[in-house]
Chains A and B, each alone.
Chain A
Amino acid sequence: MKIGMMSFAHMHAYSYADSLKKLQHVELVGIFDDDVARGKEVAKQYQTTHYISQEDFLALDMDAVIICSENVRHKEMVRNAAKAGKHILCEKPIATNLEDAQEMIDVCEHHGVILQIAFPVRFSAPIIRLKELIDRGELGEIIAFRTTNRGQNPGGWFIEQEQSGGGAVLDHTVHMVDIMRWYLGREVTEVNAIVDSYFHGVDIDDAGILTLEFENGVIASHDASWSRFSEYPTWGDVTVEVIGSKQTVKVDAFQEHFRLFTSGSKSLTNVFYGNDMDFGLIQDFVNCIEEQRQPSISGKDGLKALQVALAAYQSSKTKTKVKL
């Protein structure tokens, strides 16, 4: 299978490229990046060809592309790739507004190509295990969720509103909303949120707390932030606690670690040794194309998660609960 990559603006591109290289039957046939210096560098790193022209890149004989551009460019790249008949894995969030997200879904449907959204948390071993327990009824009826996704400020275009479409709340809400939707099989109907900027002296938001209600009355709290500083033992966290009528189960996707103590300003580092969820995502995307099946994480999944994140901004701005 031949796969190309469109832009290395998002840092996850490196992990995805590493994952592609691990798959023996997959060839990374080229990289489009209009940041010429970055494109040349990564092409050299991954021993492939750099393309400055999107048109030339999409003319390549390849099955699929992985898009890791700035958020605001997702639509443009998805549209072009779909028209070229390439299956697509698009980094989250799917877009910066719902209209773009819907257009991306429609254009992929029209051209008969797969649009999968990159929510790698779905491929974390403990997250999958909890899904199995829920599906087997071992938690009973779900009553509430409690989730977190807190990390470091990625800087660069992430903190430029016109490039990213939003800060920490957009960046770190969509993952966990996707997980809650996946676990529950229900949609969010109400969003109440406080969004602010505390930690980095930037105009864009770096902290938010969301209280959600799902269509079946399940309630949830979510903490999204870029509150972790570089000396913190780990990049951040991804946690979900599910309060069920039979039992409550909590999962920490990065809990599989040992503690490394060294001298210096960062004396403690958590060294993660759990499964590589990015690799799981890429493997699933490749399998999806090979098996010609529907993607496990659809464009609609991306849109629904985006809808909640955008509603959080609206709720905070208007100081009201937003109904979806």
Chain B
Amino acid sequence: MPLYREGAPSGLVVEDPWLRLADDAAVPADGMVLVSFARWREARAALLARRGPVGVVLANTDPVEALAADVSRLDLMVLHFPKFSDGRAYSQARLLRGRFGYQGELRASGGVLQDQIAFMLRCGFDSFESEQKGFGEALAKARTLFSVVYQPTEDGRSPASLLRLKRRNVLVS
């Protein structure tokens, strides 16, 4: 599956350095491994004891709260969209980024289409697996689609309400 990363040169597919481990596969001693949420819960200590970064793949029904204490130990989290119209992972993303302070790569997988990118960026996703033609070009433009936003979210953009207040205060002072 082609992988795209925000900030990569326009339209470019980036290489995926992560080894996606089946639940019954042996854990290599080093390298970047990506495991399921179930595997993580079961083998957390062993995974952390090895050399090399660990990432976790979550189903959109997995409780992200269970990862709150480990966000600084994980370098990748993959959130899944079983269909593009199933929006549960948007909430997971905002909780991971906003509430638990996760700083690593946050990847969207599954039904990931270019018309959702602007929403995904606002919720804190920064990498994307997509088979859609033109996805990379769309990603490069996605941040400029809307120069105004109404909600404060994890992307740190100032919503219109805040900008209005600032403008008013400048006028007053």
Same complex origin of A and B:
no
Q: Which residues of B contact A (CB under 8 A)?
A: none
